[in-house]
Structure 1
């Protein structure tokens, strides 16, 4: 077992068969979420991921809440950082130093993938972009995630998740009907770009394995958000309609939204004729299924009919029943789900059955629960009970084993401030 293998085994805190990406080496030069989540998914699937941070300016999500800090731990642990950087080895490199650049080139010779999330052109200015590193390793997959991609007039603009939600169209569609647009309540631009980054990287790896040819994987947050706007583009193209906020309603099927109940809210989506008839029977109003104004999907979708008859009927069904009672009535027959807060989700038996909340034990800090992996593989399951590295925790081991430096060379780099 190599030194790197021993370090990964210690991080992962679980005895499991090597993951599907065992042997794939990934250099992760990313921060925050759009990038770290991409490389984390690869790490969960078994890749050796090396998180590279500036020695004096590491990933600033290390300071994001919530913070675990107990005892005499030398460095606090951010739960936010831990969730998106588990399973990774930690290396520091100042890429503005010539020796730091040389170290990255030497690592790139041995790597299969490099992931970065700087603005387009930043790595090129350092002499470490795709065109530079492909000469070092023609098989390298270079995955670049950015706000607007590597091409186009916006390529150099700074961007955040909200930038992508705004320019990708999603923000304009979200919110209460008749009200102002509302951002989606999570960092959907960062997360979707990360997942598309994983897909692109895996496709490029497949090509590289078959041909020996690496390539640039160019992922834009704006592109990623646009791809999540359902039928908005085709509706605009065919009908000239511009989607507006609809609150909890769906643009072309009803009922398919949020409804109040005795102790909260439920989602109910009984819009098909089959589900509508079954719902009427389940809630004791079977005669409503034969009402000519309610008998068809098209009739129930009519604005006036929906507000006058459909919505009031459903509110009547649910008003005096709890979420639990409604779930039991719906059983496995009706599309009805309780709207759960995170406390309820964490304790959900289905979530537990799917191993979607995992506990990681941080020495000197205690246990931390975080989301698991939604990817379920029968032979090579993801490795999710894993630590995130402290800043530069594995610098010496990585430089020795993967870049060929001896102890004297590493000491010289540390004296110059190239590594921490």
Structure 2
């Protein structure tokens, strides 16, 4: 096998994507969601993301439903791995370690989501890789972070929800707590990791020195608990499930209508006055029992006076009718099913539902919530098969010949 140059290069035009991160090379050594979503955000914005998988044990999210296309390829996997390249590499082999170090010399960023210490045990921790490329951004996503007494513990999304406090706050007060109905620990950690990675990249471009971006699911979930921490530290008030209510404003929650439910948040004096006028009860604005925000928040007053008023207003209309009547004037929105959201003209106009090829089929999936005025609409490439880009990546970045690649594949390195 030919020797590999140590000179750092960015992605060439034939391999890279267009966008603000065009030319940035990312080695993605992650699996499932906490990590793949982070690198997908970077790929959507133009980075060349190279997904690195063990040839004998690729990302098991490839087996997650639903499936699409003639080959029944995982659309779940595709949603978090679109716009990437894919190579195989056995990091447990000595040859594989050598090859990763060579790739690091060509990269700007490496993202991993192993349990802290795993990469060090492989001889591929940050200190080792930084010697190969001092400007390397090493982004590590884990359940508990790289420091602290619990750093070595295994974790899943539910772990983050449990230890970050969010699980204990969600649900109804007369029932056990309920997990948030999505993988908020994985997703929030990925988003924070993307922000931290871009910030560290900016610093590396300025100073030539890389660093570790350390993001934990516990930290990420904790940051989403709104006022729970200060309520506890200031007043010793421990947040607990309160259903669809809010701890200190009313009316602000879910209310039934003809065909479902709406969110109504008209708790301020301004919005309460507009609401009373819109629904034909202007006289309530000056009702001395409910004429201020503070009075309407009183639990007894709210139950006895406000709830019946709201139920009378909303029960006469459908979700669409209520949005037509009031949506432009007060905080009132239909509580939509996913089917309604996917078909929402506003969501479509925001390009939050995009067509992505999955095998032989075009699948509508979540777009990128970051909208940059100069970026345009990124091209959506399908998620790659295992090792689909071995020849391209290893030849263009490391100069391997087809014979080198075949030899490495035969011996189990690729």
Instruction: Kindly state the Cα deviation for residue 4 of structure 1 after the two structures are TM-superposed.
Output: 6.4
Q: Distance in 2 between matches of 1:151 and 1:387?
A: 36
After TM superposition, the score normalised by the length of structure 2 is: 0.95
Summarize the alignment of residues 291-306 of structure 1 with structure 2, pairs less than 5 Å apart.
291-306=287-302
Structure 1 pair 278–285 and aligned structure 2 pair: CA distance change class (3 A)? same
Structure 1 pair 384–357 and aligned structure 2 pair: CA distance change class (3 A)? farther
Look up the match of 2:363. Answer: 368
Look up the match of 1:206. Answer: 202
Instruction: Kindly state the Cα deviation for residue 177 of structure 1 after the two structures are TM-superposed.
Output: 2.5
Contact persistence 1:3–1:397 (CA under 8 A): no
Summarize the alignment of residues 225-264 of structure 1 with structure 2, pairs less than 5 Å apart.
225-264=221-260
Instruction: Kindly state the Cα deviation for residue 382 of structure 1 after the two structures are TM-superposed.
Output: 5.4
Q: Distance in 1 between matches of 2:90 and 2:378?
A: 30
Q: Distance in 1 between matches of 2:346 and 2:333?
A: 13
From 403, 410, 415, give the equivalent of 2:405: 410
Using CA pairs under 8 Å that are at least 6 residues apart, name the structure with larger relative contact order, 1 or 2. 1
Q: Distance in 1 between matches of 2:153 and 2:305?
A: 50
Q: Distance in 2 between matches of 1:275 and 1:386?
A: 45
Look up the match of 2:156. Answer: 160
From 279, 284, 290, give the equivalent of 2:286: 290
Contact persistence 1:8–1:89 (CA under 8 A): no
Summarize the alignment of residues 330-341 of structure 1 with structure 2, pairs less than 5 Å apart.
330-341=326-337
Look up the match of 1:113. Answer: 109
- What's the C-alpha RMSD, in Å, of the aligned pairs? 1.4
Q: Distance in 2 between matches of 1:8 and 1:134?
A: 24
Question: Which SS does the other structure have where 1:133 is aligned?
Answer: helix
Question: Which SS does the other structure have where 1:378 is aligned?
Answer: coil
Question: Which SS does the other structure have where 1:242 is aligned?
Answer: coil
Summarize the alignment of residues 87-98 of structure 1 with structure 2, pairs less than 5 Å apart.
87-98=83-94
Instruction: Kindly state the Cα deviation for residue 3 of structure 1 after the two structures are TM-superposed.
Output: 9.7
Look up the match of 1:183. Answer: 179
Instruction: Kindly state the Cα deviation for residue 405 of structure 1 after the two structures are TM-superposed.
Output: 2.1
Look up the match of 2:60. Answer: 60
Instruction: Kindly state the Cα deviation for residue 291 of structure 1 after the two structures are TM-superposed.
Output: 1.4
Contact persistence 2:271–2:330 (CA under 8 A): yes
After TM superposition, the score normalised by the length of structure 1 is: 0.94
Look up the match of 2:378. Answer: 383
Contact persistence 1:28–1:52 (CA under 8 A): yes
Summarize the alignment of residues 133-152 of structure 1 with structure 2, pairs less than 5 Å apart.
133-152=129-148
Summarize the alignment of residues 28-39 of structure 1 with structure 2, pairs less than 5 Å apart.
28-39=28-39
Contact persistence 1:358–1:384 (CA under 8 A): no
Q: Distance in 2 between matches of 1:206 and 1:382?
A: 23
Instruction: Kindly state the Cα deviation for residue 57 of structure 1 after the two structures are TM-superposed.
Output: 0.9
Summarize the alignment of residues 319-338 of structure 1 with structure 2, pairs less than 5 Å apart.
319-338=315-334
Question: Which SS does the other structure have where 1:333 is aligned?
Answer: coil
